[in-house]
Amino acid sequence: MKLEVDIERLASELDQLANFSEAEPPAVTRIVYSQADQQARLWLRNLCDESGLSTRVDALGNLFARWDVSGHSTGAVGTGSHIDAIPHSGRYDGTVGVLGGLEAIRTLKQSGFKPLRPIELLAFISEEPTRFGIGCLGSRMLCGSLKADQASALKDKQGDSLPAIREAAGFTGALEDVQLPPGYYNAFVELHIEQGPLLEREHIALGVVEGIAAPAALRVHLKGSGGHAGAVLMPQRRDAFLGAAELSLAVEAAALKSGSPDTVGTVGLCDIYPGAANSIPSAVKMEIDVRDVSLTHRDAAVESILQSARQICEKRKLEIETSILNADAPCKSGPAIVEALKQACEAENKTYKMMISRAYHDSLFMARIAPVAMLFIPCRNGYSHRPDEYASRQDIANGVAVLARTLASLAS
């Protein structure tokens, strides 16, 4: 089967999509349900309609575009990603998987291929946690891990509820109907930029993802005793920030000593109260991210961190409150999809590397209802979530061609 990816068309569409933004170019800001997000989703749906696909949008805003010549209602082969973007980010994160997925379907249609299973493009709503503090909102609801009542309780930083915001954006159906029925997808493949430097550094065309790491997110409140920075002598101090600093090092140590090279730990938020140079910190709020593709190693690191937190607070006479915000399970890719990706790479004469994804994606949650895998393309310097995020046309075309062959194999 000869495949001809129209990379000029795809590159133009990526540029057009980047223009739906609240930030000045080259940065992209497209927060879920914002005006820019709504305009982008309408543009995308029209693009899918023009491509001869059957489109629908669910009550949350997930967009489905189906190519079906088989008449089957279930067992589709899915592909896609997201188009929402964190503030001042780039134009390739997620969007390559959505517009690249559309181009893969158009490429197959142009080649004369006839799928025995439906092939469907899915543009997930709210993959980024920017607005509601929870990532992969759309895929969580599609797979049933987040229920309608839980979603309805979500609020943004202004205190506006998810139901009110999504209804104002025109999505008025019942949230209970978002969850997909059993067997809806037979397989799901997500094309994405690597968001890391390995492929570029090793001069490898593509990455075949064997597993996706998942985070445990912890929130820790430390409470001590404040006072004037010059008046309270060191032996009498209960400095909450010093406890936080010590705990931050304990996070690093727990990750390094987990026994797995893939364990990572990050203190991404550290709010100090009262936040004055001449005042002893009386309280600190921390948020900690711990990840691994091995649930055993990740959870052992989390327990080590919690144990260290208790010991540090006992030693420093601090009060402590801890909560686990989420602890999602990692996933392994479907062996049949991985094999199809490898064979497609070989058919296209493209080098590939077996990888894990240390960032998590919507495919992590789709794995709860269907076999999944991901395909990575290089991005310059490994940069992502920043305005200079970049993937070359050739690398994008390589990914789309291999994705198209993989979809054809899975739909045959």
- Give 272-324 pLDDT, tens digit per residue: 999 999 999 999 999 999 999 999 999 999 999 999 999 999 999 999 999 99
Please give the mean pLDDT across all residues of the chain: 96
First-to-final CA distance of the chain: 13
pLDDT at residue 70 in the model: 76
Tell whether 202 and 299 lie within a shared domain. Answer: no
Q: How many domains does the chain have?
A: 2
pLDDT, tens digit (0-9, with 9 covering 90-100), for 112-162: 999 999 999 999 999 999 999 899 999 999 999 999 999 999 999 899 999
How far apart CA 15 and CA 225 sit, in angstroms, is: 53
Tell whether 47 and 148 lie within a shared domain. Answer: yes
Tell whether 128 and 246 lie within a shared domain. Answer: no
Q: How confident is the model at residue 189 (pLDDT cuts 50, 70, 90)?
A: very high
pTM exceeds 0.85, yes or no: yes
How far apart CA 137 and CA 228 sit, in angstroms, is: 44
Evaluate whether residue 1 is within a structural domain.
no
Q: How confident is the model at residue 58 (pLDDT cuts 50, 70, 90)?
A: very high
How far apart CA 37 and CA 130 sit, in angstroms, is: 13
How far apart CA 170 and CA 161 sit, in angstroms, is: 15
Evaluate whether residue 209 is within a structural domain.
yes
Question: What CATH code is carried by the domain that includes residue 303?
Answer: 3.30.70.360
pLDDT, tens digit (0-9, with 9 covering 90-100), for 16-45: 999 999 999 999 999 999 999 999 999 999
pLDDT at residue 285 in the model: 97
Once rounded to an integer, what is the mean pLDDT over residues 226-250?
97
Share of the chain above pLDDT 70, in %: 100
Q: Which of 327, 347, 362 is the last residue of a domain?
A: 327
Evaluate whether residue 346 is within a structural domain.
yes
The two beta strands, 372-377 and 206-212, are antiparallel
Position 73 pLDDT exceeds 90: no
pLDDT at residue 1 in the model: 87
Cβ contacts of residue 351 below 8 Å, gap of 6+?
A: 203, 204, 205, 206, 345
Tell whether 167 and 78 lie within a shared domain. Answer: yes
Position 393 pLDDT exceeds 80: yes
How far apart CA 341 and CA 39 sit, in angstroms, is: 33
pLDDT at residue 90 in the model: 97
Evaluate whether residue 219 is within a structural domain.
yes
Tell whether 305 and 199 lie within a shared domain. Answer: no
Domain span including residue 279: 214-327
